[in-house]
Amino acid sequence: MLYKLGIADNKYLLPIFPSLTVFGIVALIVASPIAIFSGLYHMKRTGAFAADAAVQTESNPYVYRAVPGKEREVMLPLMILTARGLAQVMDQLKTMTPEERSRFEEVLAKADLLLKGQAVGLTSQRSPE
């Protein structure tokens, strides 16, 4: 319909778009990126999207807890062991400062809480369960 109305009877555009196929291909190549970028721009500028994302994040109980199963049983213990091994190497090389050591211990304490099934993170902003 657009081709017939805008291109077929237009003596300036007909040499550029000799057929509907060429017009369709060019339209897809031009319109797709424009649509994607305008949608991304709209999503970033809309306050409702940010509010909805915040509500969805806080309503998911596994944002602040380790997911039962492989994450709690395998992945989290493996990460803790890897971090402790790395800390031992850094201690032997004397490259860890006392501030880094205290921060490292804080993070490991949070990982231990996760491993025990407790919540960590922004729990003060969440409603009680």
| pLDDT bracket for residue 6 (50, 70, 90) | confident
Q: Judge whether residue 122 has pLDDT over 70.
A: no
**Residue 92 to residue 94: CA distance in whole angstroms:** 5
> Which amino acid, one-letter code, is at 63?
V
Contact 115, 77 (CB under 8 A): yes
CA nearest neighbour of 20 among 38, 41, 6: 6
| Cβ burial, residue 72 (10 Å; 0-12/13-18/19+) | middle
pLDDT digits (tens, 9 = 90+) for 77-101: 999 999 999 999 998 999 989 999 9
Mean pLDDT of 39-52: 80
In this prediction, residue 44 carries a pLDDT of 79
Say what the pTM is: 0.48
In this prediction, residue 88 carries a pLDDT of 92
What ranges do the domains of the chain cover?
A: 2-45, 66-125
